[in-house]
Structure 1
Amino acid sequence: MLPYIGWDMHAGTAMRMAFGMDFHAAAWDSVTAALAVWYWTLRSRFPALVRGAALFEDLRLRQAAEATLRASEQRYREIVETTSEGVVLLDGDGRIGYANDRFAGMVGRAPAELPGTSVLDLVAATDRPATVAALAEVTGSGATPFEVGLHTRDGRVVWVRIALTARAGDAGEPAGALAMVTDVTEQKSIEAQLRQVQKLDAVGQLAGGLAHDFNNLLTVIDGYAALLIAQADAAAKDDLTMIRDAAARASGLTRQLLTFSRAQTARQRVVDVAGLVGSVEVLLRRLIREDIGLLVSAGPAPSVARVDPGQLEQVLVNLAINARDAMPNGGTLTLHTDRVVLDGRRADELTAQPGDHVLITVTDTGCGMTADVAARAFEPFFTTKEQGKGTGLGLSTVYGIVTRAGGVVRVDSRPGAGTTFEIYLPATDEAPTDLPHGLEPQPLTAGTETVLLVEDDPAVRQLTERILTTAGYRVLVGVDGEHALAVASAHADIDLLVTDVVMPGMNGQQLADRLTHMRPGLPVIFTSAYTRGALTHTEEKASVAFLDKPYTAAALTQKIRSVLDAAVDVDTINV
């Protein structure tokens, strides 16, 4: 009985489970069918209710789309307003419909002022035809960028590069143009300055070439005049002295020409700074206008420093030109030299070495500078002058020359109160080496050594050979570098090489390098008025020296004697 009872219980449970599942499925299907009937009954009897539900759903979707559009517009507005370029929408007539803050800032106007303004009203008159043509030719693919000048509210001209792209309306019809505007004023200014520098470089090259030939002529004129003075009577001596005086003044003008064109190699020497400032006074008076007074003074103490005299003249000229431009209505330019002592505190303020210094003060009564401008005064290419009226290199050149001489330069200026430049150069107690020699003939410094003279100019070569022979030297002559090498190969005993720097073919530096390689320790004297970058030895030493053209007979023999004696002393020490 027990197995039977067990089977009956299990069978009953299974039947109940099956019946329950069928009941639930049938109930769900019934509910679904009832709802369907109810929905379609409502839809047929109450269509407004259905439309209301659809309208509600459509409204929800539209609000979501508008929110997305607003977010997109905000992103694009942020991009347009923060871009570094000006963005302008133009209609078919070239009038501004929208301009971002960047463009408004370029032309010095508020963004709200620009809508409705014709873009041609902002363009410089000379650039309007090009702008009209660009607007007429603009296509959907964009046009080649073009550059124009835009007038600002304060009268300045801003140079911009414009790229145009055509705009289309809702129906695809032409609706004007999109203009992307880039400010290129600074770039144009740098390009103009570069062109000015290139012009100056070309002028410098021309001036250097002329000075080389001109100084060769002056060397011959002065040399033969000096030789004739020794044999002339009193009346003839006066005439010859006038010739030498004219040659000396011409030499000074040539040297200044080379200085201004930066064609001279820097050669520092011990200079009487007060005397140099006094000697450049005549030149400065020619550079400044008649309505500007020039006062030059010096303190009682010796003002001697080691500096390149030509470059120091350039410093004074650059400062004088700056002062002239700062006094358009006239004024006073004052140059004063003195000797001062910088103690530790003052030296630290100037970032200079403590001790004795030569102070050159250049003061004008001009318009002065703001603190911001004064702080940038020595920056290369920085200028407050109008385009084409300044390179921005004058004061940076001053800074470079003074710094290379071991000095410092500072500026003190206020708007409306003028400007003062102070130049501090380390002072020295050595005797100046640039004292001008009188025009009276000086004795030649004699010698008996063998000198190899190399000079491509026949007149200078002939004169120099005569001077050296008269002084007792044995002279071997080369007309150029190759010829000089051949002459040197044929003569074992050569004590000194005197060579011009600028020669056709092999220059003086290359010749000296080859001969000193063949004959180590051979002393060399370079002569030239313009090296054209061919000379790498810019500092004199015992075995290498430089003699400017035009040179006098006395200066030539003195230089030869000093170099030969220095070479002998070096050989003695080495032994």
Structure 2
Amino acid sequence: MHGSGESVAFWWQLTALANAVILAAYLGISFAIGRGLWQSRQWRNNPLGLATASIFFSCAVHHGSHTVHLLLPYLGWDMQAGTAMRMAFGMDFHAAGWDTVTAALAVWYWTLRSRFPALVRGAAVFEDLRLRQAAEATLRASEQRYREIVETTSEGVVLLDNDGRIGYANDRFAEMVDHPPGDLPDTSMADLVAVADRPVFVQALADARGSGRARFEVGLHARDGRVVWARVALTARVGHVDNTGGALAMVTDVTEQKSIEAQLHQAQKLDAVGQLAGGIAHDFNNLLTVIDGYAALLIAGADEATTRDLVMIREASARASGLTRQLLTFARAQTARPQVVDVAVVVAGVEGLLRRLIREDVDLVVTASATPVPVRADAGQLEQVLVNLAINARDAMPGGGTLTIHTDRVVLDAGRVEGLAAKPGDYVSITVTDTGCGMTAEVAARIFEPFFTTKDQGKGTGLGLATVYGIVTGAGGYIRVDSRPGAGTTFGIYLPATAAAAAAPVEAVEPKRLTVGTETILLVEDDPAVRQLTERILTTAGYRVLIGVNGEDALAVAAAHSRIDLLLTDVVMPGMNGQQLADRLTELRPGLPVIFTSAYTRGALTPTEENMIIAFLDKPFTASALTEKVRSVLDAHADAATAIT
């Protein structure tokens, strides 16, 4: 019996130990699951995890009651007393109750199989926390990487909902529209789009919903008043967490590209118009050469009344010549003669002309710098700039006013050159201000376009300010216009200052008689009227003239004559141009002096500095100017030949 009692005690102790181990294991599992649910905030919305933790906890309590019952004899209670205690306190009923609770939890656990098919398939329900932590770390790293890409990209990134409202915008987009990034969420994207472009944006958003993507260009209103041209790529958002639809917008700032394209378009337009203007000026100057030349020849034998009429013809011809120079300057085909000139002296020299051009009810106020303000430019072109600006100012003051011209030396620092796109440095400024009607911003933006004018038909050509712009930029300068309706207009011209001293002005004296000579001149001119006039002027001055109607004919004439002292050729001719003819003849006759004549070279003449035996004479030219130029080139050639011998 004793041995039997020891055997029962052994199994009693072993059962107690096993229940204690099960108790610890179930409690550990239950607390581990509960802790995971609490930390992940899933204890309310993860019934599977809650049911599992509850079952393990119920089982732990059940085995805990067995453990306590089995350990009572070892706490001073004998087995019979323990059994009596168990009966007294209803511990069997207690165990049965926990078994019932555990069963109920198991049924609840089983009912979740439709929502958690992993239960039915037998797959793992709870993942390895280390794997989960590693996955979460990888996800966080990926999110951080993509956030860095989004925030550092050169493009704007915007998330839009179905209504086109901004849910997220990166810093680059906020910078484009000059808004704090925190102010953009919940803002309607359409409110940032220029009014004229909003239909384009609305249609693109609809297209993105239908086809998945859309591309378009719109203007965006920045908070500082700028219009930012943007190229937008919309992609429909699919499968995101909140399932609200919308689109991803990739926004590229193309304002600078648009500006370059506009400048290229403007340059192409100017080039096309310039070619037309240059061609017209070339033919027109040939006509003016003939008109002025014959009028000058007739004056020599005319009476007083006829002379006055001929003088009027010549004055009209000079005014027409000025118009063609304006056309050629606009076309940038006019041959500029840049030299160091004092701007204040140029303004003073043209002041008398300006007073005659403006009306009596317009006061002209000229204020000059106290010190010289030299620049390197063509003085005649600067005078043309002042004349054009003065005429525009006069027309802007139909009821009278004040026209102020001020010259000064200024230093443009980084802040002041921003609006001019100029380089910092020393400049000479010419400021022309009127008190007229002023202009709107839209008009001011177009005033330098060729043929754009706000004047009535017949009162403006639209070339004046385009010519001003061409002259100023051709001299390496910049021009700015400030104007408001009813507040007048100010043109600011900035030309690079030079340290060189301006040359003293030399007044040109028109010779009263032709400069004579006896040399042989090969005249090449394709226009019959100009050719006949030029031949008459030269023969009247005593020269022997050989005639070529084009380049090929001139080569044949030269081959038939051993002596030719000078080649006088037009530049623009059909077939062989004047430059090519001169090159051919100077190869055959080294050192042959050449005078080119043209109103528009069309790029046919190599740009070289005028020297002793190669010269250029603008059309239209006068008889005296022609013979003087011929004489000066022949004399220079003779002096050079004497020096060599």
> Normalised by the size of structure 1, how large is the TM-score?
0.72
Counterpart in 1 of 2:182? 112
CA distance in 1, matches of 2:252, 2:362: 43
CA distance in 1, matches of 2:178, 2:258: 19
Cα distance change, pair 528–377 in 1 and its aligned pair in 2 (3 A): same
CA distance in 1, matches of 2:182, 2:249: 18
- 2:415 pairs, out of 354, 357, 372, with 372
Question: 2:250 aligned with 1:207, yes or no?
Answer: no
Cα distance change, pair 393–226 in 1 and its aligned pair in 2 (3 A): closer
Look up the SS of the partner of 2:213 in the other structure. coil
CA distance in 2, matches of 1:306, 1:183: 39
CA distance in 2, matches of 1:67, 1:290: 85
Counterpart in 1 of 2:405? 334
Look up the SS of the partner of 2:290 in the other structure. helix
Counterpart in 1 of 2:258? 188
Counterpart in 2 of 1:15? none
Q: Does the 8 A contact of 1:162 with 1:181 survive in 2? A: yes
- 1:426 pairs, out of 500, 504, 510, with 500
Following superposition of structure 1 onto structure 2, how do residues 379-458 of structure 1 map, counting pairs within 5 Å? 379=422, 388=446, 398=472, 401=475, 423-424=497-498, 426-427=500-501, 432=506, 435=508, 437=510, 442-458=512-528
Look up the SS of the partner of 2:610 in the other structure. coil
Question: 2:557 aligned with 1:483, yes or no?
Answer: no
CA distance in 1, matches of 2:254, 2:178: 16
CA distance in 2, matches of 1:528, 1:393: 20
* Structure 1 counterpart of 2:297, one-letter code: L
Following superposition of structure 1 onto structure 2, how do residues 154-169 of structure 1 map, counting pairs within 5 Å? 154-169=224-239
Cα distance change, pair 475–303 in 1 and its aligned pair in 2 (3 A): farther
Counterpart in 1 of 2:593? 523
Cα distance per residue 1:286-322 (max 9 Å; x no partner): 9999998643478999999986334444665799899
Cα distance per residue 1:533-568 (max 9 Å; x no partner): 111143221111111111111111111111111111
Question: 2:283 aligned with 1:217, yes or no?
Answer: no
CA distance in 2, matches of 1:522, 1:104: 70
Give the C-alpha shift of residue 218 in structure 1.
0.9
Cα distance change, pair 421–456 in 1 and its aligned pair in 2 (3 A): same
Give the C-alpha shift of residue 158 in structure 1.
1.5
Give the C-alpha shift of residue 82 in structure 1.
2.4
Structure 1, unaligned runs of 5 or more: 1-34, 337-360, 404-408
Cα distance per residue 1:180-228 (max 9 Å; x no partner): 1111112212222222222222222222111111111111111111111
Cα distance change, pair 116–300 in 1 and its aligned pair in 2 (3 A): closer
Q: Does the 8 A contact of 1:266 with 1:538 survive in 2? A: no
Q: Does the 8 A contact of 2:469 with 2:479 survive in 1? A: no
Give the C-alpha shift of residue 444 in structure 1.
1.2
Look up the SS of the partner of 1:435 in the other structure. coil
Cα distance change, pair 182–420 in 1 and its aligned pair in 2 (3 A): closer
> Normalised by the size of structure 2, how large is the TM-score?
0.65
Counterpart in 1 of 2:639? 569
Look up the SS of the partner of 1:168 in the other structure. coil
Cα distance change, pair 527–303 in 1 and its aligned pair in 2 (3 A): farther
Q: Does the 8 A contact of 1:87 with 1:99 survive in 2? A: yes
Cα distance change, pair 388–459 in 1 and its aligned pair in 2 (3 A): same
Give the C-alpha shift of residue 482 in structure 1.
1.0
Q: Does the 8 A contact of 1:499 with 1:525 survive in 2? A: yes
CA distance in 2, matches of 1:399, 1:257: 16
Look up the SS of the partner of 2:246 in the other structure. strand
Q: Does the 8 A contact of 1:220 with 1:460 survive in 2? A: yes
CA distance in 2, matches of 1:372, 1:240: 56
Question: 2:169 aligned with 1:99, yes or no?
Answer: yes
Give the C-alpha shift of residue 461 in structure 1.
0.5
Q: Does the 8 A contact of 1:524 with 1:544 survive in 2? A: yes
Q: How many residues align?
A: 494
Counterpart in 2 of 1:355? none
Cα distance change, pair 152–213 in 1 and its aligned pair in 2 (3 A): same
Cα distance per residue 1:448-467 (max 9 Å; x no partner): 11110011111100111111
Question: 2:199 aligned with 1:129, yes or no?
Answer: yes
* Structure 1 counterpart of 2:292, one-letter code: D
Give the C-alpha shift of residue 113 in structure 1.
2.5
Q: Does the 8 A contact of 2:479 with 2:492 survive in 1? A: no
* Structure 2 counterpart of 1:84, one-letter code: S
Counterpart in 1 of 2:613? 543
* Structure 2 counterpart of 1:152, one-letter code: A
Give the C-alpha shift of residue 333 in structure 1.
2.9
Counterpart in 1 of 2:320? 250
- Give the share of equivalent positions with the same residue, in percent: 65
Give the C-alpha shift of residue 278 in structure 1.
5.1
Q: Does the 8 A contact of 2:340 with 2:501 survive in 1? A: no
Give the C-alpha shift of residue 569 in structure 1.
1.1
CA distance in 2, matches of 1:300, 1:100: 55
Cα distance change, pair 473–271 in 1 and its aligned pair in 2 (3 A): farther
Give the C-alpha shift of residue 114 in structure 1.
2.3
CA distance in 1, matches of 2:145, 2:210: 24
Counterpart in 2 of 1:495? 565
CA distance in 2, matches of 1:306, 1:436: 24
* Structure 2 counterpart of 1:426, one-letter code: A
Cα distance change, pair 58–321 in 1 and its aligned pair in 2 (3 A): farther
CA RMSD of aligned residues (A): 4.6
Cα distance change, pair 396–460 in 1 and its aligned pair in 2 (3 A): closer
